[in-house]
Structure formats: structure tokens, C-alpha cells
Amino acid sequence: MKKILSLFCAMAIIFSASAAPFAKKVAAQKIEVPAALKTVKPVQRAPQATAALESGTYYTQSGNFYVYDEGWVDYTSEMPSITVAVEGSKVTITGLAYWFDEASIQGTMDGNTITFANGQLLGTDQYGDEYLIGSNDGETVCDIVFTFDPEANTLTSNTMYIMESEKADEVSIYTYWYSPVFGVDEPETPEVVALPDGVQTSSYKFEGKDADDESAVAFQVLVGFDGSDVYIQGLSQFLPDAWVKGTLAAGVVTIPETYLGVFEYYGYKFPFTLAATTMTYDATNNKFTCASYTITTSGSSAEGYKNVTLTKMAEVAATPVEPEIKEFAVADEDYPFVEFTINMTGTNGEELLAAKTSYIFYVQKGNESSPLVFTTDLYTKLEANMTEIPYTFSDEYDIYNDGIYLNQSESELRSWDKLGLQTIYRAAGEEHKSTINWFDVHAYWVAVDGGESAVENAEVALKAVKRIENGQLIIEKNGKLYNVLGTIVK
């Protein structure tokens, strides 16, 4: 699992109580069944034909799936399908469980009814054995029964609850299905909004507050006008490339509920949707205002902002402030990386437009330096080799605008003397480049190889502290700062 960079750390906090990949298996729970549901049974439609059940993938058509994560949380989006295997009257279903997602249960088909004996073992982990059990009231266990409808080609659970349990004969559970229906037809994925060809866009500054913690939030979005249609890109920080479309009338932009796309996080997929939203547009000042808006996934809030303003940014020529390489971490790292900051201001205080900003890394070996090329063989999410990287680009795996994983071999990284970073800004018909910020890679390896044990010994005897500053190993000892050669630098 790769190191999480800043945006994804924030995402983890947001999702910790509402979405799938951050759940941690805890002690088994008793199901909490709303009273109104205890007497409700799934509606069954009597099959009208006798066509045979076939092996294959069956997709979740309806019903809900819940995982206990400091309360029961809807994880239905994480359970998109099951696999069915048919061999005579024997039917095997794989994929009903969350914590043992490759586990199967076996049942017997009689006509169009398939019965799976209660309490089949799914597997064993640090919490002990785990079983799949059924229940119709959330309290007593029963067999798990499905009805096959050959006309609709669906499998409907006759059993109200299908649960992962620590016991085979008692409701003590980690997850549960509520009245699921599975079918051979894959649900259609909604279409995302696309910016029409020829529509010109401008950068707008987003300012507002996080709806959860009231913290100030600021970033940049793109806005395009096409008659009365208004297109906005970037309202979600997790899907910054997603567009929404609203209609402008009488100074108000009305944006309907909009599917933004799927946010993928370490193999988990989250469909993001913007709730219906309105914004007021001030054409004189090129400014939008919005009281609040919410982006949801799986029925839970993923992002929320309030007191939002979008203000058009001026495009002026500017020379970018020098960027900063903040951390170069290779030794003892599972995934070596370089962390950096692209300063989004000009040398005279101008605010840079993100859409017109890019950056380049340079590698110096001896007296020669050349741009660092990110190749598709090392950076497998790229469609083509990259040298100059747009500030707004991310492959959502290795490359982000505040950090990049170093997939080069250690021998290659050891051959670098310095690593440089330069910002490029193209605006108002001009191109300007920052000075190059250089990190002393050679000094890093000296610290790791030669200086590390000496520094550790010095720390024990003299309480010295070591750190890297501006690419140089610095040792603080007795109130003074020394470089790797032992020379006092301050």
C-alpha cells in the first residue's frame, strides 16, 4: 500500500465514519433492526417459467449491505456483484461476505428455490471463526433461501438478513445484507458531465468553509459559459476533473443532482454525487456565491462546504517563486518519495493560475544536469512519458502536486548528485520560469551511509539532533549547528 499524501490523509479523516475502506473489524455486534422493518418481508414474484439457473456474475440490483464501523454504515457500493456456480442441483455463491470476500457457500436447488444451510464457515482470522447465517427477525437464525426468477433472471433473497457472524447459531455479527436481489444485468453507470468543444474557461478562486470543522478552504476551479449553461470543474477536491452543469436564469445558477464519477482509493470505488445546488451569480463582479453544497457517496457525506464564493481570477504574466523540495525519503522506505511545494505566487506577489502552472524535475550527475523523465515503464498509470507535469495533474497513484513516488532503482537514485525542481508559468501570452530549487542527494546518502552511525552515537553521548535542511545534513549539538564535515554553520 502506497504512502498517503496530504489530500488523502484528509480524505481518510472524512470517510472514517462513512465509507468502506477505512472500516476496521471490531468485536461482533447484535443487529439493530428498526421496529418497522421487523415485520416486513421482501415482496416475492412467483416465477412464471422454468429456465435453468446459469453460472456467472450476478449484480446487486437492490437491497442494502451494512458493515459495523462505530455504528452500522451502508457499504452497498462495495458489494457490486456475486459469483454463482451451478453444477446440477448444487449451487455455489461467492462474494456475499465482506471480510472473507473470496469465501463461498453451497446450497441445493429445488425447482426455483435454493436453500443454503445456516452457519457455513467462511474462514478464520484473528477474531476467530466466521460464519454466514440467515435471520428473518434479526434475532433468531435460519437457513438462507433464494428464489430464482428465470423470467427476470434474478436471485431474490427470501431471507431478510444474511449476516457474517462469529457464531453459527446466534446473531453476533460483523456485517449484514438486508433483502438483497441479484441479477445478470449489470447496472448502468451514469454519464459524467463533459465540457462541450469550443467552450472557453476561466480560473476562479474558491473560498469557503468545511461544513464539518468550519476550517477555511481555498482552491481553484474552472468556469465556462455556453449561453445560459454554466460549467464548473473542481467542486470536489477528490475528483477535481469532474464537471457540473447548471442553468443561469435571473442571476441564479441551478445545478441538478449530478453524478461526478468514481473515486478510487486503494482498490475501493466510491461513486460521488453532487446534491442539487443553487448559486447566485454577480455578472458585474464575476462572482458566484453559494450558501452550501454537499457531495455524497453511498448515501453518506463525502465533502461539504458552506459560505462558498467563486471569484474570477486575473490573468497576468508573472515569474513564479522558487518551489521547495521538502523531503527526500528513500532509505528504509517501502515506497521512496519526494515531497515538495509548488508556491502558487509570483515574485511580486501575483497569484498564479493553477491551470497555467507546471513543473519540471532535474537530475544532476557530476557537472551535467537534465530533466527527469517519468516513463511509462516505471509509472504504469501514465499513458505517455512525462517530463513537464501540469500542476493540476495526478495519476492518482504515483504523481501528485505535492509529492511523487520515486520508482527508480536505488542504484539509480544513488547516482544522483542533486535533484532540482523548477516551476513554469504561462499566462497573458508570456512564459516565465522560477529559479531551480536544488536538493543535495549526495549529502542525503552520506548521512544514510557514512554519517548515520556516527550521528546516532553522538546523539547518545552529546544529545545531538540530526535533520536535513535545504538538502544538507545538519547536526545540532550543544546549541550549535554543524554540517556533515563537522563545520559549524550557525
CB 298, CB 272: distance < 8 Å: no
46, three cell numbers:
412467483
Q: What is the mean pLDDT of residues 264-276?
A: 79
Structural element, H or E, at residue 438: strand 437-440
314, three cell numbers:
486575473
The predicted-structure confidence for 152-178, as pLDDT tens digits, reads as follows 999 999 999 999 999 999 999 999 999
Task: Specify the pLDDT at position 17.
Answer: 33
Task: Specify the pLDDT at position 451.
Answer: 59
Q: What is the mean pLDDT of residues 385-395?
A: 95
The predicted-structure confidence for 7-42, as pLDDT tens digits, reads as follows 333 333 333 333 333 455 566 665 554 433 333 333
Coil vs helix vs strand at 279: strand
Residues 6+ positions from 252 with CB-CB distance below 8 Å = 278, 279, 280, 281
Q: What is the mean pLDDT of residues 267-275?
A: 81
* Residue 467 or residue 376, greater confidence: 376
Confidence of residue 472 (pLDDT cuts 50, 70, 90): low
Task: Specify the pLDDT at position 271.
Answer: 86
* Residue 470 or residue 99, greater confidence: 99
Neighbours of 300 (CB within 10 A): 16
Biggest distance spanned by C-alpha atoms of the chain: 89
User: Pairing state of beta strands 128-135 and 161-165?
Assistant: antiparallel
DSSP 71-110: SEEE-GGG--EEEEEEETTEEEEE---STTTT-EEEEEEE
Coil vs helix vs strand at 131: strand
Cα 480 to Cα 193, 430, 464, distances in angstroms: 59, 46, 10
* Residue 137 or residue 374, greater confidence: 374
In 3D space, the residue among 179, 222, 182, 219 whose CA is nearest the CA of residue 54 turns out to be: 182
Q: Whole-angstrom Cα distance, residue 222 to residue 204?
A: 6
Residue 47 reports pLDDT greater than 50: no
Residue 325's φ and ψ, nearest 5 degrees, are -85, 115
CB 226, CB 199: distance < 8 Å: yes
**Percent residues over pLDDT 90 in the chain:** 70
Residue 189 reports pLDDT greater than 90: no
The predicted-structure confidence for 305-353, as pLDDT tens digits, reads as follows 999 999 999 999 999 999 999 999 998 888 899 999 999 999 999 999 9
Task: Specify the pLDDT at position 278.
Answer: 98
Residue 249 reports pLDDT greater than 70: yes
CB 401, CB 391: distance < 8 Å: yes
Residue 263 reports pLDDT greater than 90: no
DSSP 15-51: HTTTSGGG----S-B-----GGGTT-----------P
The class of domain 201-312 in CATH terms is: mainly beta
The predicted-structure confidence for 107-136, as pLDDT tens digits, reads as follows 999 999 999 999 999 999 988 999 999 999
Q: Whole-angstrom Cα distance, residue 350 to residue 361?
A: 23
DSSP 324-336: EEEEEE-TT-SS-
Beta bridge partners of 430: 427
In 3D space, the residue among 86, 264, 67 whose CA is nearest the CA of residue 176 turns out to be: 67
CB 257, CB 247: distance < 8 Å: no
Cα 25 to Cα 9, 176, 428, distances in angstroms: 20, 13, 54
Q: Whole-angstrom Cα distance, residue 131 to residue 120?
A: 5
Coil vs helix vs strand at 111: coil
Terminal-to-terminal C-alpha distance of the chain: 40
Neighbours of 119 (CB within 10 A): 18
Coil vs helix vs strand at 387: coil
Q: Which residue has the cell 508559468?
A: 425
**pLDDT, the chain, mean:** 85
Confidence of residue 440 (pLDDT cuts 50, 70, 90): very high
428, three cell numbers:
497573458
* Residue 224 or residue 475, greater confidence: 224
The predicted-structure confidence for 359-389, as pLDDT tens digits, reads as follows 999 999 999 999 999 999 999 999 999 999 9
Q: Whole-angstrom Cα distance, residue 43 to residue 250?
A: 47
CB 416, CB 365: distance < 8 Å: yes
Coil vs helix vs strand at 451: helix
Task: Specify the pLDDT at position 469.
Answer: 55
308, three cell numbers:
462558498
Beta bridge partners of 243: 193, 233
